[in-house]
Amino acid sequence: MSEITKFEYEGHNISFEFSDGNKMINATEMAKPFGKMVSGFLRLKATQDYIVLLESRYQDQPGREALRVVKGGEPELQGTWMDEKLALKFAA
């Protein structure tokens, strides 16, 4: 069961999903106040390598994922969602 919680950062709502110990952050919402695009970060070789590393660590944990892209459906679920570790790299 997952739960979406919104936290405010400098007047902007950022969605967090908490599910079975997994924390996902809506990176699209994170980037918006700064005029940034998530796609640029995801194209970097270092980012791609880090995603592969995270996915290999999570392979024995059902439901755990490093990255999820949601297009369509419920508006609050749309966007690029990152695992907390990947989101921290994105924010740095």
62-72 per-position pLDDT tens digit: 888 999 999 99
Cα angle value 60/79/69 (rounded, 5°):
40
Query: What local confidence, expressed as pLDDT, does residue 55 receive?
Result: 95
Query: What local confidence, expressed as pLDDT, does residue 76 receive?
Result: 84
Phi, psi for residue 77 in degrees, rounded to 5: -100, -10
Q: Which stretches in the chain have pLDDT values below 70?
A: 1
Query: What local confidence, expressed as pLDDT, does residue 41 receive?
Result: 97
Contact 22, 81 (CB under 8 A): no
Query: What local confidence, expressed as pLDDT, does residue 9 receive?
Result: 86
